[in-house]
Amino acid sequence: QVQLVESGGGSVQAGGSLRLSCAPSFTIYRLPCMAWFRQAPGKDREGVGSIYRDGSTKYADSVKGRFAISRDNTKNILYLQMNNLMPEDTAVYYCAADFGGGRCYNSLARGDFGYWGQGTQVTVSS
């Protein structure tokens, strides 16, 4: 069973930055697919960014150029650097992972990830 623990959420003003972290209970290299999702009140959970073990990434159009996903195999942590935050980025952010099998490569589809963290709240005020 894979456990994922997020941290780094908080409140920030528009234009500010936050960095989210996700610590998996497995060695991160054994998790080829990792991603960040978010869910705002009353909305569906949506993919923000995903990263494969080879370093390839994919982002939602709404965050391209502002967010960056990365994985540190040495520290065994997944990151989401969020810059130029906007009020519409307010949501609970979830770390997700999967062992792969091809389907999760460069995927932002919720159904392609089998393991989820509990989420961390990000609130951006105008």
Higher pLDDT, 31 or 37: 37
Place of tokens 């370093």: 55
The pLDDT of residue 93 is above 90: yes
Higher pLDDT, 103 or 20: 20
Q: What is the pLDDT of residues 59-89, one digit of tens each?
A: 999 999 999 999 998 999 999 999 999 999 9
DSSP class of 2: -
Are 37 and 60 a contacting pair, CB within 8 Å? no
Average the pLDDT over each of 7-11, 12-16, 54-58, 101-105 and give the range with the smallest value.
101-105
Q: What DSSP line would sit under 81-93, residue for residue?
A: EE-S--GGG-EEE
